[in-house]
Amino acid sequence: MAQVTTERIHPADVLYAGGKPFPVLAACEHYAGSEKLIRKSLDLQQELGPIFDITADCEDGAPAGGELDHAAMIAALINDAANRHNRLGARVNDIRHPHWRAELETIVGQAGERVAYIVIPKSECADDALTQITTLDQLRERHGVTREIPVHVLIETHGALREAWQIAALPHVESIDFGLMDFVSAHHGAIPGAAMKSPGQFDHLLVARAKLEIAAAALGNGVVPTHNVSTELTDMDAVRADARRARQAFGFLRMWSIHPAQIKPIVEAMQADFSEVAAATDILVAAQDAAWGPIRHAGRLHDRAAYRHYWNLLCQAHSTGRDLPIEAQERFFSPTHN
């Protein structure tokens, strides 16, 4: 047994020394297009806590000809007092849209210090995503925004899927997301429309292959794989089942929502089992007491490789609002450690 120490070093300070910590994101990403719906989402986020993020949508939310006014509205809401948790991001238009640069400049110029992330859609290749990321960095410099702005990249074209590993490795990327509807449409009828919903979205081999490749590329590059929407708006058990299958069978750690009623079922389905959380707490508490040296727990040897796994599990449980053991809350998630 390793020697016990009275000094407690937080896992975030020791487990990723010289390396990249895995992003800790809410398990649900809720899309809203209009000012009314974004404000309602912010109110719900205040009620439930930051267990879901909100993405304000320029791509599908803006009326034709009103793109820049729409982007300015989103920037104002990001800066609004109602954005209490600073978890409001924005999706801009794709690289072939005439207004994407102006949208990005509006959001970065007016709300660069508070926007949670930028979502980039419909990249055809890694170079498309890199062009928009490079522009984002140029705009940050121009407007004096010193903080990193995370980027989420939608994988919804053949080319983006082919280069998913390169996309996941680009600067500032913290999530790659599957765009199911556009992906199915890009197959010119070779994939039936039934694959846009369950069970086809999981059972059709071309779609399942895309999901597995995206999840592998994301996790292999230390970023979060985000699952597509469920189109079910009335049967929340079906939404919960979609989220659970995405999490347990395909490795996705986050999922889109397109209706407020979907948020809780998605979060619940993405939560870690409490017994796993309790075991992770016991192991990390013992490891912290042993100054993060190897320990023996329940007849097994654990070291830092295992500690990183259990720390990621605790962080994901915390981000989904799962109740944590008191000792985990006090040692790892108290305000002094946030």
pLDDT at residue 17, as a whole number? 63
Query: Is 261 among the domain residues?
Result: yes
Is residue 263 domain-shared with residue 280, that is, in the same domain?
Answer: no
Q: If residue 262 lies in a helix (H) or strand (E), which one and from where to where?
A: helix 260-270
Q: Write down the pLDDT at residue 175.
A: 98
Could you tell me if residue 108 is inside a domain?
Answer: yes
Pair 263, 169 in one domain: yes
Percent of the chain surpassing pLDDT 90: 83
89 inside domain:
yes
pLDDT of residue 179: 97
Flag whether 262 is in a domain: yes
Residue span of the structural domain in which 297 resides: 11-16+273-337
At 133, the pLDDT band (50, 70, 90 cuts) reads very high
Read off the pLDDT of each residue in 79-89 and give the average, rounded to a whole number: 97
Who's near 82: CB < 8 A, 6+ residues apart?
39, 42, 43, 46
| Boundary (domain end) residue, out of 270, 292, 307 | 270
148-174 pLDDT tens trace: 999 999 999 999 999 999 999 999 999
pTM exceeds 0.85: yes
- Over residues 14-33, mean pLDDT: 86
State how beta strands 300-302 and 295-297 pair.
antiparallel
Residues 289 and 252 placed together within one structural domain of the fold:
no
The pLDDT tens digits of the residues spanning 255-312 come to 999 999 999 999 999 887 778 899 999 999 999 999 999 999 988 999 999 999 899 8
Q: Is residue 1 included in any domain, yes or no?
A: no
What CA–CA distances, in Å, run from 320 to 10, 28, 147, 228, 336?
Answer: 21, 8, 25, 18, 20
b/e code 161-199 from CB counts within 10 Å (16+ = b): bebbbbbbebebbbbbbbbbebbbebeeeebeeebbbbe
What's the rounded mean pLDDT across residues 125-130? 98
Boundary residue ending a domain (270, 299, 324): 270
Residues 204 and 168 in one domain: yes
Helix %, strand %, coil % of the chain (to 5):
50, 15, 40
Q: What is the mean pLDDT of the chain?
A: 93
* Domain shared by 226 and 107, yes or no: yes
167 and 302, same structural domain? no
Counted domains in the chain: 2
Of the candidates 286, 309, 284, the one whose C-alpha atom is nearest the C-alpha of residue 4 is 286
236 lies in the same domain as 94: yes
Q: How many CB atoms lie under 10 A from the CB of residue 206?
A: 12
Q: How confident is the model at residue 61 (pLDDT cuts 50, 70, 90)?
A: confident
Of 270, 291, 319, which residue constitutes the final position of a domain? 270
Query: Residue 100 maps to which CATH number?
Result: 3.20.20.60
Q: What is the torsional sign of CA 217, 220, 224, 228? A: positive
- Is residue 21 very low, low, confident or very high in pLDDT (cuts 50, 70, 90)? confident
Look up residue 201 and give its two tokens: 């979205």
Length of the chain: 338
3-state SS assignment for residue 335: helix
Identify the pLDDT of residue 300. 92
What is the pLDDT averaged over residues 14-26? 81
**Across 6-15, 61-70, 118-127, 183-192, least confident range:** 6-15
In this structure, the answer to whether residues 247 and 117 fall within a common structural domain is yes
Confidence of residue 10 (pLDDT cuts 50, 70, 90): very high
Region 202-226 average pLDDT: 97
Question: How does pLDDT run across 216-242, given as a tens digit for each residue?
Answer: 999 999 999 999 999 999 999 999 999
Can you list the positions of beta strands (E) in 156-291?
A: 173-178, 224-227, 254-257
Q: What is the pLDDT of residue 2?
A: 47
Indicate whether 309 and 172 sit together in one domain.
Answer: no
Q: Do 187 and 229 have their domain in common?
A: yes
Same domain as 218, residue 322 = no
Q: Does residue 199 have a cis bond before it (omega within 30 degrees)?
A: yes
What percent of the chain lies above the pLDDT cut of 70?
A: 96
Q: Give domain status of residue 2, yes or no.
A: no
pLDDT for residue 312: 87
pLDDT band at residue 338 using 50, 70 and 90 as cut-offs: low
Are residues 58 and 82 located together in one domain of the fold? yes
Q: What is the C-alpha separation between 221 and 170, in angstroms, rounded?
A: 9
